[in-house]
Amino acid sequence: MSEDSNNKLYICRAARCRKNGSDRVVEVLEKVLKTKIDLANPTDMIQLESVLCMGQCAYGPNVKTSTKIYTGVENQILKRILVVMKSKLSSENKLS
């Protein structure tokens, strides 16, 4: 997770987060973004990457952007994360 990027969304796949619903988070994200987790595809605006632990096990499922860890992630939180990420990426693309 050391190569943080504005277009990567990290999803915790450790046992406790999986027990708390990270598999469902992955399913939703893959469907919405029309991509697969850990697929290195430069054409995808947002890439999904699995990680083993974010140190927030009691609060999972957990998702991390380049700047923030989100705990207890549910669909509404996912929607907000994606809106913010897409907005940032769109702004970056306009500047380049």
Q: What are the start-end ranges of the E strands in the chain?
A: 8-12, 47-51, 63-64, 69-70
Residue 3 lies in a domain: no
Domain that holds residue 23: 8-95
Say if 1 falls within a structural domain: no
For the chain, give the mean pLDDT: 88
- CATH code (residue 57): 3.40.30.10
Domain assignment present for residue 2? The answer is no
Using one digit for the tens of pLDDT, what is the confidence trace for 31-67? 999 989 998 766 658 999 999 999 999 999 999 998 9
> For the chain, how many structural domains are there in total?
1
Domain-embedded: residue 18: yes
Kindly state whether residue 24 falls inside one of the protein's structural domains: yes
**Residue 32 lies inside a defined structural domain of this protein:** yes
